[in-house]
Structure 1
């Protein structure tokens, strides 16, 4: 059978792979697994329970939880009766919950743990809350599941028959860098076309490979990833939490996983920090290998001598990097924001294939993806367009997308929909270019700004470059309508400690160190070195070091780790003004 709706993947997997381990989670220190048939049984009983309590086609149910099989059980069960899931980030505020509950007309709510429950309860009104953990005041999901046991399965089969591929299956409220979140309406066929388009370029063997899932399922990137992994018969293991990823990787030995550049940056920084801790020959060998990796290009070879050195570096240094990722990783998919080219180079040199892709919630999400082979990989590009997706570049450089993956619109916001969907072309807001078959992203249209001299600045490209410094963790480039660009910088404090130890500078605390003249001078040298990659009008003239990292809960980052520029400008108005005081 060919799946035409997302829940068709359940019988498809049984017929094609019939897996013993379809989904697995850590419970009381042990992995608890669900087979393909377990998934069907649980999803069917949940669907019957929803029908019994009166959930109708088109009605909305919110899911707010960290990743777990229960998340997917509820999602699949709602699909089978034509109801619409409204996934939400656990990290957003109770006020955001309240807005989405009201705007989406949510009928009932599923939550993961007590922290989420307390936030949801404050916003839920008279809506019933169900929980994946046993919590006082909430209805345990297994008690709800029991309502569907022994119910008439014919009622469910009739409900399934009524669901069309063109029906909405979810409304995803985008986190947004400004203003209220928008509800992106996606159909079964939107996401199904997308997962089939990327399934053929997955490297691991279908039916027998393992995946570790840790990016939020409420984001379309990991959610479409789940459906794709399910379609190709991978066993999906859920990380216990973000702090346990390293340990879970060692246990599972995954063949692939989805990630965001921010996590790859942290992995790289930890590896380099350990390199600085080495002594003598070991330290020299480590940085010899690292420098080889930073020069790597999958498409060209500097010559036989380089290849011989790299082969040796892989044996004595990079093999340990692969072991830290379980030793069996064949493909890492990176998305949601721009990947530093140097990271792609060094990981590919180390035999760790990081494949960058591009997409948006509104495109289900994938527009383009890197094919995971030396012949097809292009550093600095986001791969080739996937099947049935078209791209054209507007006169101002904006990327326009057309295809079966493009959303139906924003829920209850026809004016906003009309702004971005014109003649079937979705206006992404991203600036880019096509180089033959390959797509390259250069910046966000709305984030570009002009200096007072009339010169355009593309901040995202600059920020990505400046973060190549091991001493810089986060950075924002500013300077709209000013004479020159400046920057607010969050140091990588672990790297700064290593630098101070190496230079014999007593480390007295983060806030104190960033005020010291010798530390400011060090950052000045870092900035000057990286300024060489930009035109004179683009170069950062002044900067301010800040003591606290930007985060999701503190408001400076979206849940997908993008900078909320407006928030940062408002929050650090005083510091920004000082950068332009003579």
Structure 2
């Protein structure tokens, strides 16, 4: 048995146990960094830190405070907050109290927040601010189980007329209650952690879902303990890493990163403000970070737009350097696969060295200059964008998993990563490809089932533990997985041809630097069409350069000039497609797709049914008068 297999098989029952081990091992080591905005409201944030020992004192006080409020093992405590260090400390406090965390996106509206709190029977809600408190108060009549709301940012979050006594308290007040509780019961937290069983419920994550009501995914303590050990075994992260964590912690992708960090013990800088990413990277200077494909697409489009704005010569250099990066990445990855050495021919190495000085080095500096690896997940990364970053020295390791599998089932291994694949299964995870191409998974990371939905659970989880992912994929002979599409998203044209829309959409994102989102449609039709949303900063920059300055976004994207521009990229896309995959017609949307309109999930996945419903008139317009075969 290898050391990694031994570690996984002999794992403790919970991440709470791992947390206690981490505190004992490195109490004075830096654990979390967090930004503090200047008092004046102007100037850069100040970054402060918690050591593991300081984090532990806060976590224990939160855990004891919850016990003092009457929270018992496996009862649910919800967290509705953006990504911040307090989220992690509260989550650990919930786990150390033996309770289970219900995660709620802060962007979730009051109605759906109420549904999640009621369905999970959450006893306490930890709310980020007065806005999150207001959602709970608006629906309090529907929440008989909700005994308390604890507010992280207490300003403006006070008890209101009609609130039960003690219903609202601040996080500081909860910690003080906990400190007092620990004076009387000093061993309460350690005893509770010591009594945890691996099969106890630890987390209830509601899938944002592309259709219908969200389902609560039940993840036991053992799933997170396994994930922490398995990720550490891949050597994906190291003890000397600095991780930049901005992903939503209500999402399983963000949540799993917190478990791995506790096992490995590296520093994590936490700030969920997406608009601060570009500003934070040169300050934090991470060695490791995770992101969703949309972030890499925006960076790529932004770099291309900046080069274009610099004039024809600069843009020509950028396009040349982009081609060199892709060629270099493909050649070195292929050589590594065949020989174990990431080599390239002398001529290509020389071109790459020149392009590095002119383009790539500046790109790496924008990421802080120390980035060893990025992990991309939640959706497919267009291979051509992946190859560009790989060739530029920003190594994007794609991974794969679902909420139902605790996020990380596959990840690309370090130097041996292969763009366009999601890598190999984590140690301890089994994979099987069904006859229809569906990916099946089995292992300690798989959920117990959907909360209070046994029929839905039975649809995807077999009695022998195999989980049906709903994704279609292919395994290479040496175990690398390539995702083809969602099973339910495959398009069958009226001519009987199957098309994977995500594959076509990914190729378009690689050729068109202005696209933000694209939806390919063609089910039961005799040709494919597309709805295309353009990235506002990049297309408005193009408009300024082409005599359209002063016009609104809607006016710009509705213009003949932009239609002609996009049509050129659609034709380039079509050149590389099979005839039945080609986009015959397209419409540019008057606005970008977003979470607020329900067209994207909080992890920025496309909700196809919602987009097709909202813009159905444009789809019908593209098929009007066409003869359907």
TM over 0.5: yes
Q: 2:26 aligns with which of 17, 20, 38?
A: 17
Residue aligning to 2:383? 341
1:348 shift after superposition? 1.3
Alignment of 1:180-191 (within 5 A): 180-191=213-224
Tell me the equivalent position of 1:227.
259
Give the 3-state SS of the residue equivalent to 2:592 in structure 1: coil
Is the alpha carbon distance of 1:282 and 1:486 closer, same or farther for their aligned partners in structure 2, counting shifts above 3 Å? closer
Structure 1 residue ranges without an equivalent (≥5): none
Aligned to 2:133: 117
Shift of 1:347: 1.1
TM-superposed deviation, 1:507: 6.8
- 1:459 has 2:501 as partner: yes
What is the DSSP-based 3-state SS (H/G/I as helix, E as strand, rest coil) of the residue aligned with 2:562? helix
Tell me the equivalent position of 1:216.
248
**Cα offsets for 1:380-429 (capped at 9, x unmatched):** 10011110111111111100001111110001000000000013110000
Report deviation, 1:113.
2.2
* 1:139 aligned partner: 169
- Give distance in 1, aligned partners of 2:120 and 2:80: 14
CA–CA distance in 2 between the matches of 1:222 and 1:345?
24
Q: Distance in 2 between matches of 1:17 and 1:533?
A: 54
CA positional deviation for 1:32: 2.6
Aligned to 1:393: 433
- In the TM superposition, 1:406-555 aligns within 5 A as 406-422=446-462, 423-436=464-477, 437-468=479-510, 469-500=512-543, 508-555=551-598
Q: Distance in 2 between matches of 1:24 and 1:414?
A: 41
Alignment-derived partner of residue 26 in structure 1: 35
Written as runs of structure 1 = structure 2, the 5 A alignment for 1:47-446 is: 47-125=63-141, 127=146, 128-134=148-154, 135-137=157-159, 138-149=168-179, 150-203=183-236, 205-206=238-239, 208-239=240-271, 241-279=273-311, 281-295=313-327, 296-297=329-330, 298-300=332-334, 303-373=345-415, 376-422=416-462, 423-436=464-477, 437-446=479-488
Once the two structures are TM-superposed, the CA of residue 203 in structure 1 deviates from its matched residue by: 4.6
Deviation at 1:533, TM superposition (A): 2.2
* CA–CA separation in structure 2 for the residues paired with 1:284 and 1:459: 31
SS in structure 1 opposite 2:22? helix
Give the direction of change, closer, same or farther, for the CA distance of 1:162–1:204 in structure 2 (3 Å limit): closer
**In the superposition, relative to structure 1, how do residues 312 and 222 fare at CA in structure 2: closer, same or farther (>3 Å)?**
same
2:305/2:538 contact within 8 Å kept:
yes
RMSD: 1.9
| C-alpha distance after superposition, 1:24-47 (max 9, x if no partner) | 211243223211111222222222
Shift of 1:302: 5.9
Q: 1:316 to 1:470 in 2, by over 3 A?
A: closer
Cα offset for 1:552? 0.6
Contact 1:500 1:507 in 2 (8 A): no
Which whole-Å deviations, capped at 9, do the CAs of 1:326-361 have from their partners, x for residues lacking one? 111111111000011112111111111111000001
Corresponding residue of 2:163: none
How much does 1:494 deviate? Answer: 3.6
**Is the Cα contact below 8 Å between 2:410 and 2:422 reproduced in 1?**
yes
Measured in 2, the distance between the counterparts of 1:36 and 1:513 equals 52
Aligned counterpart, 1:568: 611
Q: Secondary structure at the match of 2:579?
A: coil
Moved more, 152-161 or 34-43: 152-161
- For the residues of structure 1 that align with 2:492 and 2:15, how far apart are their CA atoms? 45
Is the CA contact (8 Å cut-off) linking 2:127 and 2:149 kept in structure 1? yes
For the structure 1 residues 192 and 111, does the alpha-carbon distance in structure 2 shift closer, same or farther, using more than 3 Å as the test? same
3-state SS in 1 of match to 2:599:
coil
* SS of residue paired to 1:474: strand
Q: Residue by residue, what CA displacement relative to the aligned partner does 1:453-505 show, whole Å, maximum 9, x if unpaired?
A: 22222111111111221132211011221111111111234433444455556
- Conserved 8 A contact 1:19-1:233: no
TM-score (norm. length: structure 2): 0.88
Provide the C-alpha distance between the structure 1 equivalents of 2:424 and 2:250, rounded to a whole number of angstroms: 26
Counterpart of 2:338? none
**Residue 503 to residue 334, structure 1, CA distance change in 2 (3 Å):** same
Task: Please tell me whether the aligned partners of residues 326 and 390 of structure 2 are also in contact (alpha carbons under 8 angstroms).
Answer: no
TM-score by length of 1: 0.95
Taking the aligned partners of 1:443 and 1:240, their CA distance within structure 2 comes to 29
